[in-house]
Chains A and B, each alone.
Chain A
Amino acid sequence: MILTTTESVPGREIRETIGLVRGSTVRAAHAGTDVQAWLKNLVGGEIEEYTKLLAEAREQALDRLEAEAHARGADAVVGLHFSSCEIASGAAEFLAYGTAVKLVPRKS
């Protein structure tokens, strides 16, 4: 499965547009992590706990998007975007969305 932020895939043509696919998740860190993150917030620098939380959410949202695209028979998802917002303090919501398409090799 090709996932790309561009609107087309080099060397391929879009044969069919299947439609919007998306994957989202909301993940939280446990209270102990929040306390450690709060302490790091006092002294500055990267808050690794929240970097990890955001990365977990991103990967899960991406996997859900890919699973939906696969289930709908897509070869690729083009125009992939990420969006995030905060639903609850210490929780990360991640939404990945794009357009599922079927591809054929480009005729030269």
Chain B
Amino acid sequence: MNEREPSADELLAMAYADGELLGTERAHFEQRLAAEPALAREVAQLKRLEVLARHAAPPEPMDHEWERLARSGGQRGLWSAGWLFFGAGVLGLAAWGLDCLECSQASWVPKLLIPLAILGAALLVGAAVRARVRTLRYDPYRDVKR
């Protein structure tokens, strides 16, 4: 066995996650959490383990079949091909729509505004994805199954 001793910060994070820090000690730790992302990630990780530990129920019979399906090349191939064709189709349709618009006799107003609206929507989606990716590591509930 070669387990290292937890550091002082790790012990504090454990105490905080368990609700054992009180008063000024708690307030001080919360100030540090706001300023130190690594410490906040440590607390989120501990919280995640605590949430998972609540679900100690054994797997259900169907779970094994779901796992086999998830490993099956055929099933993965179907999903991957489906998403690939669907994504390619959507992107192709968007490109074709823009091309049609460009070649049409429409005035410059829709020619400018429609791509602008599409660009705006893409930026909004990008912002939402960015926010989710940035906060995902602090979300202790993402591994909850049922």
Contact = CB atoms under 8 A, between A and B. Distances in A.
B144 A56 contact: yes
Contact count band on B: 10 to 19
A66 B141 CA distance: 15
Contacts of B51: 59, 63
Given A51-B146, A70-B19, A56 B66 contact: no
A96 to B, nearest CB: 14
Contact of A59 (B54, B66, B83): B54
A55 B54 contact: no
A74 to B, nearest CB: 11
Contacts of A46: 62
B68 to A, nearest CB: 15
A32 B142 CA distance: 16
15 contacts: A1-B19, A27-B141, A48-B145, A51-B145, A55-B144, A55-B145, A55-B146, A56-B141, A56-B142, A56-B144, A59-B51, A59-B54, A60-B141, A63-B47, A63-B51
A51 B19 CA distance: 28
Nearest to B50: A63
Given A55-B145, A55-B146, A59-B144, 14 more contacts: A1-B19, A27-B141, A30-B132, A46-B62, A48-B66, A48-B145, A51-B145, A52-B145, A55-B144, A56-B144, A59-B51, A59-B54, A63-B51, A66-B19
